[in-house]
Structure 1
Amino acid sequence: MASNRVALVRRWGLFAIAVALLATGAWWLGQWQFDRLEDRKADNAVVRANEDRPPAPVGDVLTVGGEVADDAEWRLVSATGSYDAERTVVVRYRTRDGASGVDVVVPLVTADGTALLVDRGWVETDPRGTERDDVPPPPSGEVEVVGWVRADGSGDSTAVDDLSTRAVDSDRIGEAVGLPVYGGWVELKSEDGEPAEGLEPVELPELDNGPHFFYGLQWWFFGVLAVFGFLYLLWDEWRHGPRSDRPRRRSPARDRTGAGSA
């Protein structure tokens, strides 16, 4: 009898630990979603604050070798210079509406020799970026560019190989093309007042809050459900005893069969 009681306590103890871990994980995941929601709201506030502001000279927002300030993301800047088409960098494996392609990044060399990395847009082509015949060339001569500021990428995806990469990082691209570059880069809005020819323009971010609120509620609901289920099973066993010790109910169909045979 004592051994059965010890086994019962051990079983419920392990069950309680598992439920506690599950509930803690659900709470953490829910809080993570709510934290992402706050980050999304903050990012949206920056975009809304910047989208209606007139373009600022690039030197007022970006610096050579510097990082993009948090409140500068999606800020419109303007720069005048000449595209260095020979140093065009393609950003591989970019898709739109299920189609594969690349983004085309071209250094715009300004009067003092500093280059601004300009993502001129997207084109459907070999996603590996090895075929460049389909990449439209930039305009020649001096051009005024207006674009949205973006922060540099990070990690192994920013490695530049044969003037192609998977994510834009101004430091690595600057080293690859041999030019001093502004920190960060821009998504093109216009060249001399017109969008780039032959390229799809940038897709601006959606300014909704995403699904994070409902995901957070779902995770918290799962945690509460786990605790409630545990407490119910504990109460049920305390009230009626272990299920294995309860008499089995005979189904009505079996009862009728047994009565007929008698």
Structure 2
Amino acid sequence: MAEPSGTDVENDRPARPLWVRWTALIVFVVLLGTAFVLLGRWQLARLDERRGHNEHTIANEKAPVRPYTEVFTRPIGEDDQWQRVEAVGTFDPDHQFVVRFRNGTDTNGAEAKGYEVVTPLRTDAGWVLVDRGFVAVPTGEPLPTVAPAPPAGQVRVIGHVRRNEEGSGGAVTPSDGQVRLINSPALAAALPYPVPDGYIGAITVDPPQEGGLTPVRLPELSDGPHFWYAVQWFMFTAIGVAGIVVFIRGDLRERKAQAARSR
């Protein structure tokens, strides 16, 4: 005598309704797919944000050079960055800072690890911090405790406007003339004179510097990986939806096979 199609023949008990399995699977995929779609949209938002920053950086970098006093009158924000400014004055060699653990390019243009040098510059309008550039350190050699001396006498600095780097107190507070991040309020606490918010990242110094310093490079102006990350998240969502179809069709084939064997 044939078993009814709703019976598990091997275990002689009613088969579990397929809709229960399908509902659980669909709910799981919907929840996971929603998360994947949100992650994909977040990556696309990051892409738009990055493109906006790139356009702003290019526009600021191409703008005419301005006196630094026209910009350093307020807290320096992201929109102020990468403008080119000019400052004329004399460096203070007695209050320099070695900024540790930086990446840059050496005098031959090769990628390197090393440090940057921040030196206050005295102008007719007051003091301003200047990142004089990057110095490569060969692998295995320690960072110096004393930075290369700046040019003596009056200098003309053309550089980029830079906002403060943010971090923990230990990262921004100088110790023995060394620091991890460049933060003007934290550095000002170690100076005998005030400095404005932010700093200048030197492009050129005239007369030229000695000591193997190279200008700090502009940020990477590519789209980054955000678009392809978004594509991956959307693909995961599509794979989940396709998996539902494959799973349901497999269940239907198995149930039909069971019904055929029971006849």
Give, in whole Å, the separation in 1 of the partners of 2:256 and 2:217: 60
Residue deviations 1:157-204 (CA, integer Å, cap 9, x gap): 333333322221111111122431121112111112646652122212
1:91-133 deviation per Cα after TM superposition (whole angstroms, max 9, x unaligned): 1111345633111111112224x32111111112389975235
Identity %: 34
- Contact (CA 8 Å) 2:103, 2:114: kept in 1 or not? yes
* 1:176 alignment partner in structure 2: 190
Correspondence 1:210 to 2:218:
no
Kindly indicate whether the alpha-carbon contact (under 8 Å) linking 1:120 and 1:196 is maintained by their aligned counterparts in 2: no
Answer whether contact 1:152 1:183 (CA < 8 A) is retained.
yes
Say if 2:157 is the partner of 1:145. yes
Following TM superposition, the consecutive aligned residue runs of length 4 or more in structure 1 with deviations greater than 4 angstroms are 1-4, 8-14, 126-130, 193-197
- Quote the residue 1:95 is aligned against: 103
2:92 counterpart (84, 107, 121):
84
Secondary structure of the residue aligned to 2:195 is coil
Aligned to 1:22: 32
The alignment covers a number of residue pairs equal to: 241
Correspondence for 2:136:
124
* Structure 1: segments with no counterpart, 5+ residues: 248-262
Matches within 5 A, 1:38-53: 38-53=48-63
CA RMSD of aligned residues (A): 3.0
Counterparts of 1:162 and 1:246, CA distance in 2: 83
The structure with the greater share of residues assigned to helix is 1
- Decide whether aligned partners of structure 1 residues 213 and 233 sit closer, same or farther in structure 2, where only a CA change above 3 A counts: same
Corresponding position: 1:35 with 2:48: no
Q: Cα–Cα, structure 1 residues 46 and 206, in superposed 2: closer, same or farther, change >3 Å? A: same
Partners of 1:100 and 1:208 lie apart in 2 by 22
Q: Which has the higher contact order (CA 8 A, sep 6+)?
A: 2
Q: Relative to structure 2, which stretch is displaced further, 91-100 or 35-44?
A: 91-100
SS in 1 for 2:190: helix
| In structure 1, distance between residues paired with 2:124 and 2:256 | 84
Counterpart residue identity of residue 208, structure 1: S
Q: Matches of 2:121 and 2:26 in 1, distance apart?
A: 63
Segments of structure 2 that go 5 or more residues without pairing to the other structure are 1-6, 8-12, 105-109
Q: CA deviation at 1:148?
A: 0.5
Given residue 46 of structure 1, which amino acid in structure 2 is its aligned partner? H
TM-score by length of 1: 0.79
The separation in 1 between residues aligned to 2:124 and 2:48, in whole angstroms, is: 41
Letter in 1 for 2:89: G
1:195–1:201 Cα contact (<8 Å) kept: no
Worse overlay, 40-49 or 199-208: 199-208
Separation in 1, partners of 2:80, 2:30: 43
Q: Tell me what 1:250 maps to.
A: none
